[in-house]
Structure 1
């Protein structure tokens, strides 16, 4: 079965009762794409069987899939929230001599209460048909009442990129199973990375954030980097905007996000295990060693965690 739409609202119009309680896989054969390219999903180079990735952000569906979303409760009284700003001032040193100073300050503002909806974090992978044709496929999902929203999300995720989606059954007659090899992280080459060198590597990502947030973001990244992590990894696809700092000798791994959230996520598992986590698992507080909120005192907590 093939679905060709930009977006579907009611999956019952496409998957009738005959599909209920059946395990389905959604995807498409790469050769059926007009340009044959899946790079827009975030895959780098020539796709290979087993490659998997959290898709790039291309629109509202893929953004929700990678970042989650906030529900704003405009029917409730406003609350006090905080945001960080970089504060600059001239400090008098005597005899008409001044020195420019900078610091991160918390600024209060009013907003409606919000509830965070975690990202579904659906990953897509390269598989192959029985005849050897490469295809992009979703995880297998059994269609039933409680999974209908997830199935609709998977279909719309694919449609957002290609306006095209094929439906396969669980027997995988059309698809050959392949082990997943995630491509969500790109390790920077070994070597010394003082802040100016690291900044060059991530400058494009920094410039994608709002101008008002760039100084604070650079301050946080430079602070963590100053403790000399053994390695640094940059998120790819839907992980774009995340940077991981690894301190294996301390069993500490810090995840800093450029776009979402208000905390630095700290884990203690080894990098091989962490690199296999989905976006939803990273945001799951039960897996974290710590969560350093971006408020006053953040730098002190980072120091106590990473100082020799």
Structure 2
């Protein structure tokens, strides 16, 4: 049964179609109808079996799925927070001459405390059913605990495709070859001059306000000056995230374009990191350190890259 909706708030119309404690997945078929859409959200031109992506942000549901959400706690007193900006000043150098200098400064402001709701990180996979390619979600166990997850996956399909169907009668007909995650693109090995690297960075900076771009560029330059062995750029729902790899010291730096995020120091092998979902990468027990984007950021990052 094909279900066409814009969004659902509860699952009552469909939940009863699934037996309790049984598994099902959500899918769409006849992929040629959605070729342009599939490429836009992160799949390759070839739409190969096994391709798995975190969908690119195209609306509020996919945004929450990929980026999570900040909720202002307006029932709590306001507190001091900080944003970073480029600060310019003139310095006297003698003989009546001055030169302009610039640096990063923390600017305090008052706001309500923010509670971060982690991204759902639901992925989509190209699988095969009766010799036909389909897009499927991960398997979902019908239970009260999973009802919110199931609703979010339904709404993700509705936002992207405008329809979906449930595969629940015989999941054994769903053939999934080896998973090929397409969430990261690795630049060719070798040193990248900052001027060359920033050309690639700027493609992600389109989603950032102009006033934040120079601050981000400063951070990228400092990390790149430490000569990483490789640099990986996030694709699809990972757009705006970069990993600088230093395997010789077992250190991987996760940086992003988002001004209110932090820099994460990961201590794991790259192959393992590339297979993780975004929420898994950002979980506290999977990173070695979380360095806030504050005035002491340069000193903190240097501690891990020496």
Q: Do both proteins adopt the same fold according to a TM-score greater than 0.5, normalized to the shorter chain?
A: yes
Q: Does 2:147 match 1:172?
A: no
Residue pair 1:90, 1:101 contacting (<8 A) in 2 also? yes
C-alpha offsets along residues 206-249 of structure 1, whole Å, 9 cap, x if unaligned? 23201121111111111101111010000001000001100111
Change (3 A) 1:235 1:14: same
Moved more, 228-237 or 261-270: 261-270
State the match for 1:128 in structure 2. 128
Paired residues, number: 306
Q: Does 2:302 match 1:303?
A: yes
Residue pair 2:27, 2:166 contacting (<8 A) in 1 also? yes
Q: Secondary structure at the match of 1:277?
A: coil
Residue pair 2:83, 2:108 contacting (<8 A) in 1 also? yes
- Stretches of structure 1 lacking an aligned partner (at least 5 in a row): none
CA offset at residue 293 of structure 1? 1.2
* Aligned 1:134-153 pairs, distance under 5 A: 134-153=133-152
State the match for 2:162 in structure 1. 163
C-alpha offsets along residues 173-230 of structure 1, whole Å, 9 cap, x if unaligned? 5421322111100001223211000011121212320112111111111110111101
State the Cα RMSD in Å. Answer: 1.6
For residues 300 and 78 of structure 1, what CA distance do their matches in structure 2 show? 29
For residues 301 and 78 of structure 1, what CA distance do their matches in structure 2 show? 28
Change (3 A) 1:209 1:170: farther
CA offset at residue 62 of structure 1? 0.5
- Stretches of structure 2 lacking an aligned partner (at least 5 in a row): none
Residue pair 1:185, 1:235 contacting (<8 A) in 2 also? yes
Q: Secondary structure at the match of 1:218?
A: helix
Residue pair 1:67, 1:260 contacting (<8 A) in 2 also? no
Q: Does 2:248 match 1:246?
A: no
Change (3 A) 1:284 1:35: closer
State the match for 1:14 in structure 2. 14
CA offset at residue 99 of structure 1? 1.7
State the match for 2:89 in structure 1. 89
For residues 38 and 91 of structure 2, what CA distance do their matches in structure 1 show? 54
Q: Does 2:74 match 1:74?
A: yes
CA offset at residue 35 of structure 1? 5.4
* Aligned 1:36-47 pairs, distance under 5 A: 37-47=37-47
Q: Which stretches of structure 1, 4 residues or longer, exceed 6 Å deviation after superposition?
A: none
Q: Secondary structure at the match of 1:134?
A: strand
| TM-score normalised over the length of structure 2 | 0.95
C-alpha offsets along residues 48-67 of structure 1, whole Å, 9 cap, x if unaligned? 11110110001111010111
Change (3 A) 1:30 1:229: farther
Residue pair 1:121, 1:278 contacting (<8 A) in 2 also? yes
Residue pair 2:4, 2:164 contacting (<8 A) in 1 also? yes
Residue pair 2:18, 2:168 contacting (<8 A) in 1 also? no
State the match for 1:226 in structure 2. 225
